[in-house]
Amino acid sequence: MEFQFYFHKLILSKMKAKNTLIFILVFITNLYSQEIFLESRPSVLEFNLSLNYNSGARVYLNPKSSDPELRNMYYSYDGFLSYAFEINTNLWNNTVYIGIGSEYLKTLSLIYSVRGMVNNLPRTLQVEEGFQVYPIEFITYYIFPFSSDWYKAYMGAGLGVYYGKYFRVIYNLISESKLSRLDYGILVNAGVNFSLIENLALKLEMKFRDPELEFKNEFPKTETIVNGNRIQLFEKTFYTKINLDGLNLILGLNFSF
């Protein structure tokens, strides 16, 4: 059985000056035999559960500022986990799969980022900042022909839609957020499934994506009493922007039916 491959590089830009995603889409241009290169029984449906390590994210605390330096300042969230699931189906000849998945991604950190008043004296307050993002991702996979009955190497590309919320906690004051802009973006991934037992495989994968989410946030009130101290905030409404620009490392289980 002979195969001819062509690798095409597509440079996809989201009109973001700081990031350009480059990925490779693999196509089969000529297939001379109808024999399936995988010896195992073609699966019709696959269900994936995974634990994801996100290498980083950026949070811009003043994205609406007129000062360019202040507007481009960000706080980095490094090394946080998320949980995901995905459903795939065999589209063609056990070679092309399509899938849809979602993820629960939440992280927080203690930072000093807000100026306020404590008993009428100016202070920089320590706050708990964090965000939650819920992606919905549509992916097409190509299974490499050198795969065998005990491992399956693949590469994929797709489109993700991202929404979520941002929160800031200052003592007992908790902000409420509204999603200013629902974001979407292109993602690429590559990985391998190692067969453990029949219909169960270990999944190892890398994923690249670069969505941005913007939020308008508001405290229900700007003043509170904590342990006899009067806490006052200067701002009731503030804006934030999240950029998930890190590498996503995925460890999971793949169930085939």
Structural domain includes residue 159: yes
Per-residue confidence (pLDDT) for residue 10, from 0 to 100: 32
Structural domain includes residue 8: no
Structural domain includes residue 202: yes
Structural domain includes residue 13: no
Task: State the pTM of this model.
Answer: 0.78
Structural domain includes residue 11: no
CA distances (Å), origin 2, targets 24, 27, 34, 42: 22, 14, 11, 20
Per-residue confidence (pLDDT) for residue 42, from 0 to 100: 56
Q: What are phi and psi of 234, to 5 degrees?
A: -80, -30
Per-residue confidence (pLDDT) for residue 153, from 0 to 100: 97
Number of domains in the chain: 1
Instruction: Give CA–CA dist 50/249, Å, rounded.
Output: 10
Per-residue confidence (pLDDT) for residue 245, from 0 to 100: 84
Selection from 244, 222, 121 nearest residue 171 by Cα: 222
Instruction: Give CA–CA dist 48/257, Å, rounded.
Output: 12
Instruction: Output the domain CATH number for residue 209.
Output: 2.40.160.20
What is the largest distance, in Å, between two alpha-carbon atoms of the chain? 80
Structural domain includes residue 35: no
Per-residue confidence (pLDDT) for residue 43, from 0 to 100: 59
Series of mean pLDDT values for 10-residue runs along the chain (257 residues): 34 38 36 37 82 94 90 90 96 93 92 86 90 95 93 96 92 87 90 94 96 93 92 93 92 94
* Domain containing residue 163: 43-256
Structural domain includes residue 18: no
Structural domain includes residue 6: no
